[in-house]
Structure 1
């Protein structure tokens, strides 16, 4: 796109001077044919020289201008001019964020497990002069530096940490790559590990280990719950031992609730019955039952009379 735009501007300038040269040359050729031809040639040459001197850089790029082979300046964005045959533009540096994918295949972790890792790096050129003068192909250099840094980091990391701490790994990888690309005028914006593949046999073993770990945690939680319940029972037993009356009241409450809900037969030791005065308790429950029964009978009789 940039080459087409540059060629379009150059052609426009050349054709403008060519048309002007044809027009002026034709007018001059009416009286002086040789002067008209010479003027046409001069204007055409000027148009060709000016067209080669005009360059256009996009908003996101910088042009490296060399004068007689030596760095002269950074040009752009927009239109800029060069001295024909003296200045040259060997490189156009794109300063937008660029995405590069890279992989590390069959790389051994610190615990000697082979893994395949896919990652992506987001980077940009912040110093176009360094990117053009310090390294021959900075885009390929970033890709190779990323792959090498990833292999070095995998080799110094345990598999468990590699799988469970991806954010930390991304941060370490970004820091490691920054130190390698900073002399080239390139900064690393972000690094993200997309996928980590391990051998199938190891996946099965890790799945079984994870399942065993979950079962162990579940049993530990169940044991803690049983321990807490047992401690509550012990505390209650100690309190009842210190306060026998509380135990008797608790027993009376249990019997009362059982007899109140439905007619049941409960066998109670005579010692507990005497101590808890169950006779009065049973009498109270029976009286409540009798009153409730009489009320129901009276209500039924009233409804029958109203029906008749």
Structure 2
């Protein structure tokens, strides 16, 4: 049973988060340090030029439209059959529709009209951001969770043959695993057990994606967002808890002080001289803090009677 408890503010935050992710992805795609496949395309152009030039030079004496078309066909055929793959890339080659081999990296050849490439697979570590929107916790609180998935393909054959679209399958599997993990925890435990959730997701995703030839390296939760109304309630609850703790500490301090006063009273009761010495100390402190002016009851002067002090009265 699924509940739709998201507020308008949470929808707006989700939209803003999605826009931020899109901007970050676009920025990442434009970074100059990212490796490109420009060399592959340049090699294909060179192969086309070589094939076209050889045939065109051989048939230049009988120059006609047919010879030009033959030269173009030779260039296209040469570019299609002689290819190159970057170091991080593997190419799945099919022969008459059946899996034949995994080619690359480097130079590889295709039999014309018999072999063709099914998919180019990147063997580098991939980073994919995903989110679980309005995921319900164990206490039925809707939260929006953003996370990053680090994964890589280690078997190009399985990634090509076992699943239709392996990047989409990995992301959907990650979203499902995230919702299952959140549904087993209360909202109070969600932030405290973030690292544990990361490890559990990595284990679940690793077991599921292993059959696709994919390894999940890690899952990291970036942000956990709750509705604004619930944020206010949690803030008030935290404030009330801190105020209660402060009052409890104050009461414990008062209790300790009262016990010390009781002990002091027992000492004063057993030894009157201690009480007189305390009175003299209080008078001295009062005179010092009051800049030489002392306002005290007349009975306080009895504390300065030295004869009574030594007589123990």
Q: Does TM, scored on the shorter chain, surpass 0.5?
A: yes
SS in 2 for 1:122: strand
SS in 2 for 1:269: helix
Report what 1:297 is aligned to: none
Report what 1:124 is aligned to: 152
Given the alignment, which residue of 117, 135, 140 partners 2:168? 140
Could you give the per-residue CA deviations for residues 229-256 of structure 1, whole angstroms, max 9, x where no partner exists? 2233233334444544333322233334
CA distance in 2, matches of 1:44, 1:218: 86
SS in 1 for 2:87: coil
Q: Is it true that 1:107 corresponds to 2:135 in the alignment? A: yes
Report what 2:87 is aligned to: 59
CA distance in 1, matches of 2:309, 2:180: 86
Q: How does 1:147-158 map to 2 (within 5 A)?
A: 147-158=175-186
The structural deviation recorded for 1:72 is 3.3
Q: Is it true that 1:16 corresponds to 2:50 in the alignment? A: yes
Provide the TM-score with structure 1 as the length reference: 0.71
* Contact 2:280–2:303 (8 Å) recurs in 1: no
Q: Is it true that 1:225 corresponds to 2:253 in the alignment? A: yes
After superposition, the Cα gap between the structure-2 partners of 1:90 and 1:257, relative to the gap in structure 1 and judged at 3 Å, is closer
After superposition, the Cα gap between the structure-2 partners of 1:255 and 1:135, relative to the gap in structure 1 and judged at 3 Å, is same
Report what 1:285 is aligned to: none
After superposition, the Cα gap between the structure-2 partners of 1:238 and 1:177, relative to the gap in structure 1 and judged at 3 Å, is farther
**Backbone CA RMSD of aligned residues:** 3.6
Report what 2:244 is aligned to: 216
Report what 1:236 is aligned to: 264
Larger Rg: 1
After superposition, the Cα gap between the structure-2 partners of 1:279 and 1:14, relative to the gap in structure 1 and judged at 3 Å, is closer
The structural deviation recorded for 1:216 is 0.7
Report what 1:247 is aligned to: 275
- 5+ long unaligned stretches in structure 1: 34-38, 281-308
- Greater relative contact order: 1 or 2 (C-alpha under 8 angstroms, separation 6 or more)? 2
Q: Give the structure with the larger helix fraction.
A: 1
SS in 2 for 1:226: helix
Report what 1:169 is aligned to: 197
* Contact 1:68–1:86 (8 Å) recurs in 2: yes
Give the length in aligned residue pairs: 269
- 5+ long unaligned stretches in structure 2: 1-35
Provide the TM-score with structure 2 as the length reference: 0.70
* Contact 2:82–2:109 (8 Å) recurs in 1: yes
Once structures 1 and 2 are overlaid, which stretch shifts more, 236-245 or 105-114?
236-245
